[in-house]
């Protein structure tokens, strides 16, 4: 079967599911991050909006730029949709200071109140990745997951999507739209 047809079939099948039919993998209970604007972000700060999250680092020259490009495409597609935010947590907080993250966001030309770039001490980043977002990783910064995570308005993880897979990205777009439209 041709990839384009398979993507269409997956998209249509995914679109038929109601938001309540999306699995709930976990609830983000504890979060203590500092954003590129110098603001604190807690788990409660995720409430009320749908988030697409990932773990990257700005000095990466392999997977992270690709992930950021894919995230940027989704960010652009949902630019006019209220209630959608994006969250990129650095896996290299030693180098990715608030100033570096701010410059990274500026270079991307994104609204930092909609796409949050955030940091925490390395122990917290590892804990967040493994215990809150349920992503495996070893040997940070480079050994982080390359998946996007969809978080609903109640801080519930509703999906995982491989950033390198077109079918997963199509499913992410569909699931994101579904969660946004569900009030």
Q: What is the pLDDT of residues 19-69, one digit of tens each?
A: 568 999 999 999 999 999 999 999 999 999 999 999 999 999 989 999 999
Beta-bridge mates of residue 160: 149
Q: What is the pLDDT of residue 33?
A: 97
Domain that holds residue 173: 3-181
- When the pLDDT of each residue in the chain is averaged and rounded to a whole number, the result is 88
Cα angle, residue 91 at apex, residues 138 and 160 outer, rounded to 5°: 75
Q: What is the pLDDT of residue 14?
A: 44
Q: What is the pLDDT of residue 6?
A: 32
% of the chain at pLDDT higher than 90: 79
The domain that holds 125 is classified in CATH as: 3.40.30.10
CA 19 from chain center: how many Å? 18
**Average pLDDT, integer, range 90-107:** 97
**What is the number of domains present in the chain?**
1
pTM, two decimal places: 0.86
Is the pLDDT score of 16 beyond 60?
no
């Amino acid at each position: 079967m041709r990839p384009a047809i398979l993507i269409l079939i997956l998209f249509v099948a995914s679109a038929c599911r109601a938001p309540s039919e999306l699995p709930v993998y976990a609830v983000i209970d504890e979060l203590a991050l500092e954003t590129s604007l110098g603001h604190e972000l807690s788990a409660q700060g995720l409430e009320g909006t749908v988030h697409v999250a990932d773990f990257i680092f700005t000095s990466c020259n392999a997977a992270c730029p690709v992930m950021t490009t894919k995230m940027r495409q989704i960010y652009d597609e949902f630019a006019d949709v209220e209630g959608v935010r994006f969250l990129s947590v650095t896996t290299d907080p030693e180098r990715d200071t608030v100033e570096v993250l701010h410059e990274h966001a500026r270079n991307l030309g994104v609204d930092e109140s909609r796409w949050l770039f955030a940091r925490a001490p390395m122990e917290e980043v590892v804990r967040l990745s493994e215990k809150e977002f349920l992503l495996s990783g070893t040997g940070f910064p480079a050994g982080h997951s390359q998946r996007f995570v969809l978080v609903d308005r109640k801080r519930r993880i509703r999906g995982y999507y491989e950033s390198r897979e077109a079918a997963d990205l199509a499913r992410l777009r569909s699931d994101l739209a579904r969660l946004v439209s569900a009030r």
